[in-house]
Structure 1
């Protein structure tokens, strides 16, 4: 299975406060902005593309969202690394066969059609890793 770094998710308290750095200093371009109110997600997302990578700024929409809990426990900063795969089901099966554990309740399709799941940080020595697959179109 081929894994390619897709994006870095960064937890922020307010996207509007964080955006100027990514746009003005890193010369990023705001590619998309949306809100997901799906249960267990509850997040505002700003997708910023720099020359060669994508950064997703993640702002909680309520005090019980996963991003709000992350901010309370760890503060602002890198929330997760996301790796793109060609076949998410195959990647999950191969990883499970190697003993990797997943946060099964995170398997979903996001607001932009990307299928994703998070690996349990127990399997990664503490780093939250997302595996994602984009729709073919």
Structure 2
């Protein structure tokens, strides 16, 4: 009985799972850069916002100054436009129509799934390099 073989299984699976997640993130990032290049807008302005950890005190002061100008932003840093109210649908546009309160039924089936276990081939890992 070799205990090292049984211990290597979960570690190998965890490493494989992390590699798969990182590979998917990298593919998404590369595809978004290509889409941005096709549309003609620059990607560099978004990259600056994502690199907040490495910013200098001067950049931090500029960001604080932009926050003081009164532009509201949501959690993801997008500007919030409060000028116009958004309609909730067709019923919201018509003043005499009342909405009926409907019930929502949700069913949840608890169980075991192997959906997250996916073998990764070397071809998938080397895709794009």
Whether these two folds match at TM > 0.5 is no
TM-score, normalised by the number of residues in structure 2: 0.23
Higher normalized helix content (fraction of residues): 2
Structure possessing the higher relative contact order (Cα contacts under 8 Å, 6 or more residues apart): 1
Higher strand share: 1
**When the two structures are superposed, what TM-score results if normalisation uses the length of structure 1?**
0.22
Bigger Rg, structure 1 or 2: 2
